Amino acid sequence: MENSFFVDSENLSEAALEKKHRLENDPSSRTDHMKYMDGMEIIQSDICEKVMSRVKEYDYSQYTARDVIAALEHETCSIEDFKALLSPAAEPYLEQMAQRARAETGKHFGNTVYLFTPLYIANYCGNYCVYCGFNCYNDIRRMKLNMEQIDHEMKVIADSGMEEILILTGESRAKSSVEYIGEACKLARKYFRMVGLEIYPVNTDEYRYLHECGADYVTVFQETYDTEKYETLHLMGHKRVWPYRFDSQERALMGGMRGAGFSALLGLSDFRRDALASALHVYYLQRKYPHAEMSLSCPRLRPIINNDKINPLDVHETQLCQVICAYRIFMPFVGITVSSRESESFRNGIVKIAATKVSAGVSTGIGDHESKYSGKESDGAEGDEQFEISDSRSFDKMYQDMSGEGLQPVLNDYLYV
């Protein structure tokens, strides 16, 4: 496997600056984003072809109010119905969509909402993704927690009452090896009933190892399913290889993971087509691996440090609500996560309609949970955040708010025997 690339951006050499400039301005200087790098596992799967053929044929301007009404009247939502519900023609019917989504959520999830928190253990990254705060050329404070520090952070989180944790790293094998992540999973098992991972994509045997270390599920953001746009946003590193990233969840399931999470980062490209692709990715894999627990996240672009290289395609709250409602109507059993990127008021509303999982007590920085949870003054020895969050409520406040709205917060629903 090619070594991860990392730049000390505070001391960029003239050669590094020249390479960065070439990557940004000369497409011919970049590697082929559809070609696998050495060490990347290629699996035999038809899921990508199925998804992308459907997305390619999707012309949402052709759908009418009649199509939307018909979709809402059908007892089971077909792919064509789902396409109609994602189209601009569905925007005037958002209230009806919300009512249908609320009914489906109540039927399959009752009034429960699951709570979890993320823990970033490292922010080193070998990729140059122009929209990400962790990208290797960005001038931020880098940090990697050692096992003692990880144990401390986990204890602080567990003492708050949280029972599910999502472990995250920047995408650098050199700084955050599979073995390092595995040891973090073993520590997490001391404190938490559910352990998720959001790390760089790995091969099937490596997912199997991480599962044996204690990981239950893997979440991977495809970012955008638009391969041409993807090429212009991911200029260097393993993340540049679009098909390897696409197959990540299937490799994880082949490696024994109990579940997989999917997402596009809405706003990087055409959000309707990315929403369609994300849902179809789940739809086809669910049929191939019916035992697996699937979930969809619905993040939008948020501000990051030193970002002046991308002009996001705005996705407003109304449009985000439309996407989430369409997800729920199309796939009633799938978990839907809405992150702290969204506002308190939006999250309070959407969990009553379609979302089933939210993060609480969130920090996207490195090593700062004690200062944020206890109110102690930070010693300054912390790594910078990946992006700005909007909803900063603590676990206790989130739990109280959900309970006050008549919802039933759930910390874990698994029994291990």
pLDDT tens column, 25-39 = 999 999 999 999 999
For the segment 214-232, the average pLDDT, to the nearest whole number, is 97
Domain that holds residue 294: 9-410
User: Among 37-51, 192-206, 362-376, whose mean pLDDT is lowest?
Assistant: 362-376
The pLDDT of residue 6: 47
CATH number at residue 72: 3.20.20.70
- Whether 416 maps to a domain, the answer reads no
pLDDT tier for residue 382 given thresholds of 50, 70 and 90: low
Q: Which tens digits make up the pLDDT trace of 153-182?
A: 999 999 999 999 999 999 999 999 999 999
Average pLDDT over residues 88-113: 97
Give a yes or no: residue 154 inside a domain: yes
- Mean pLDDT along residues 257-268: 96
> Average pLDDT in the 348-373 region?
83
pLDDT at 415: 64
Query: Given pLDDT bands bounded at 50, 70 and 90, which one contains residue 391?
Result: confident
Q: Give the per-residue pLDDT at 3.
A: 39
With respect to residue 415, please indicate whether it lies within any of the assigned structural domains.
Answer: no
Q: Is the predicted pLDDT of residue 287 greater than 70, yes or no?
A: yes
With respect to residue 347, please indicate whether it lies within any of the assigned structural domains.
Answer: yes
Q: What is the pLDDT of residue 300?
A: 87
At 377 the pLDDT is 56
Residue-level pLDDT at 43: 98
Summarize pLDDT for 181-211 with one digit per residue, the tens.
999 999 999 999 999 999 999 999 999 999 9
Least confident of 48-52, 280-284, 410-414: 410-414
pLDDT at 308 over 80: no
**Looking at 18-22, 135-139, 234-238, which range is the least confident one?**
135-139
Q: Which residue did the predictor score with more confidence, 220 or 368?
A: 220
Considering the domain boundaries, does residue 221 fall inside one? yes
Q: How many domains does the chain have?
A: 1
In a domain, 352, yes or no: yes
Q: What is the pLDDT of residues 310-354, one digit of tens each?
A: 666 778 999 999 999 999 999 999 999 998 888 899 999 999 999
The pTM assigned to this predicted structure is 0.91
Strand-pairing partners, residue 120, are 168, 366
The answer to whether residue 417 sits within a structural domain is no
The mean of the pLDDT values for the chain is: 90
pLDDT at residue 305, as a whole number: 53
